[in-house]
Amino acid sequence: MAMNNIPSVDLADFISGDAKRKQKFVDEIGKAYEEIGFVALKNHFLDSALEENLYKEVKSFFALPLEVKKKYEIEGLAGQRGYISFGKEHAKGKKEGDLKEFWHFGQEPDKDANLTEEYPENIQVKELQDFNKVGMEAYRMLEKTGIYVLRALALYIGLGEHYFDHWASNGNSILRPIHYPPITEEPKGAVRAGAHGDINLITLLMGASTGGLQVLRKDGEWIDALPQEDELVINVGDMLERHTNNKLRSTIHRVVNPPKEEWSNPRYSIPFFMHPRSEMPLDCLEQCIDEENPKQYEDITAGDFLHQRLVEIGLLKK
């Protein structure tokens, strides 16, 4: 039977202390990521009150006058922190800018993180007292959820459970609140977010304010991703696909424009892009290479791979 929605999995199984339930979660999420690259996850660490608060802050920020928001668009940061204005980013291979504006919160590393790179500081929004505080609280809860998902995937691949912990904690992850404004005229070839794969290890997406997210099934059919209200949508990114030699799939997805009668509705969505430390080797894991699946990719670090892709999507000049 063809899959018409993304599979749902329960993190409570993984952290239950029951070996059978833990293995059930590992098998379910691993198979889903081999098959379609997306799951809906319930019982994660982001509670509904914090999510509600974050949406309130984000809507308040995007409602500020453009000249105020533009103060937070910092030249020379390649969009790594702060505000990125309407139409700046496009899907790889597309010229039309996506119909969105967004904000970036980045990592605030532990003092003893021993990083080889320095992350840019987060930009503080003076007009909204709680914006940065609430944003970073959500960042931490999504990062914690992501580390547990990566532990399950490490076991599925045949690695030690904590293989990803060092690379992903204090990693170069980004929390990106996005505002897709109401559509006021027929878009010329542009959509809210063009068909693309994500760059990172995994992406965690909290419930968007309206639908529109679609996932490309293996047979070439687009299906709507329809999570329950309390679920996060979590998908594999290109870094993890590459590291697992295509065992886990980075699935192409898009955000389509709504029907014309809904053009007047804005859309908000808040993905958390889980990136590792830049020195993480993305070499194909030996557990994922055999005669049937020879090594597909050249060795590269996460930092070099990220740089290549930021150039391709228009956020960095060559």
How many residues are recorded in the chain? 318
Question: Across the chain, what does the average pLDDT equal?
Answer: 88
311-to-39, 53, 105, 274, 305 alpha-carbon distances in Å: 29, 34, 20, 19, 10
240-to-103, 194, 283 alpha-carbon distances in Å: 24, 21, 10
Q: Give the residue, 43 or 4, on which the prediction is more confident.
A: 43
pLDDT at 92 over 60: no
Segment 263-312, tens digit of pLDDT:
777 888 899 999 999 999 999 999 999 999 999 999 999 999 998 888 88
Tokens representing 166 are 């060092």
First to last CA, the chain: 45
Q: CA-based diameter of the chain, in Å?
A: 59
Class of domain 8-312: mainly beta
pLDDT at 41 over 50: yes
| 313 confidence band (pLDDT: 50, 70, 90) | confident
pLDDT of residue 89: 52
Spacing of C-alpha 33 from chain mean position: 15
Residue 56, judged by CB atoms within 10 A of its CB (0-12, 13-18, 19+), counts as middle
Least confident of 8-17, 48-57, 67-76, 180-189: 180-189
Give the other-Cβ count within 10 Å of 124's Cβ. Answer: 10
pLDDT of residue 64: 96
Least confident of 8-17, 140-149, 188-197: 188-197
Spacing of C-alpha 244 from chain mean position: 18
121-129 average pLDDT score: 97
Q: 253 with 216: CB under 8 angstroms?
A: yes
Q: 54 with 77: CB under 8 angstroms?
A: no
pLDDT at 259 over 80: no
Q: How far apart are CA 230 and CA 191, in angstroms?
A: 27
Continuous H helices in 3-130: 11-14, 19-35, 48-62, 66-70
- DSSP label at 261? G
- DSSP label at 162? T
- DSSP label at 260? G
Which amino acid is residue 62, in one-letter code?
A: F
Q: 203 with 37: CB under 8 angstroms?
A: no
Segment 201-251, tens digit of pLDDT:
999 998 654 567 888 888 888 888 888 888 999 999 999 999 999 999 998
| 3 confidence band (pLDDT: 50, 70, 90) | low
Kindly give, in sequence order, each residue whose CB lies less than 8 Å from that of residue 290, ignoring residues fewer than 6 positions away.
none
Q: How far apart are CA 243 and CA 88, in angstroms?
A: 29
Q: What percent of the chain has pLDDT over 90?
A: 65
